[in-house]
Amino acid sequence: MRLSPFPLLLAFGLSLAAPEAARADGAICGTRADMAYRLGAIEGEGRLAIGLAGDRLIELFVAPETGNWTILVTSPEGRSCLVATGEGLVWFGAVVPPGDPA
């Protein structure tokens, strides 16, 4: 299934909506509950995938209608930060085998 690309202004939009969450280095952070709520309510993104990287929770949020996506990283203390955003996500629905040019 291919999702159509749409311009993503997530960082700008969330920084306007949540200036208290912005850190000095420009990262947008807050509690996990607040960040997930803002991704859903403001950006229309829901969680598509979840995994662990050491002691960090990594989540991929996607807006199915637009293809916009966000990666949220949460520390064991519950502090979540947006680490990447993009547009035009294509979901294959299954893992593409290594070496497959798909």
DSSP 56-100: EEEEEEE-TTT--EEEEEE-TTSEEEEEEEES--B--SSPPPTT-
The amino acid present at 25, given as its one-letter code, is D
In this prediction the pTM is 0.70
31 contacts 39 by C-beta, under 8 angstroms:
no
CB crowding 15-26: b at 16 or more within 10 Å, else e: eeebeebeeeee
Instruction: Provide the pLDDT confidence category of residue 41 given band limits of 50, 70 and 90.
Output: very high
- Domain ranges within the chain, ordered by starting residue: 10-86
Convert the pLDDT of each residue in 56-81 to its tens digit: 999 999 998 899 999 999 999 999 99
Quick one: fold of 10-86? Double Stranded RNA Binding Domain (3.30.160)
Q: Which residue has the tokens 């960082």?
A: 11
Tell me the average pLDDT across 29-44. Answer: 94
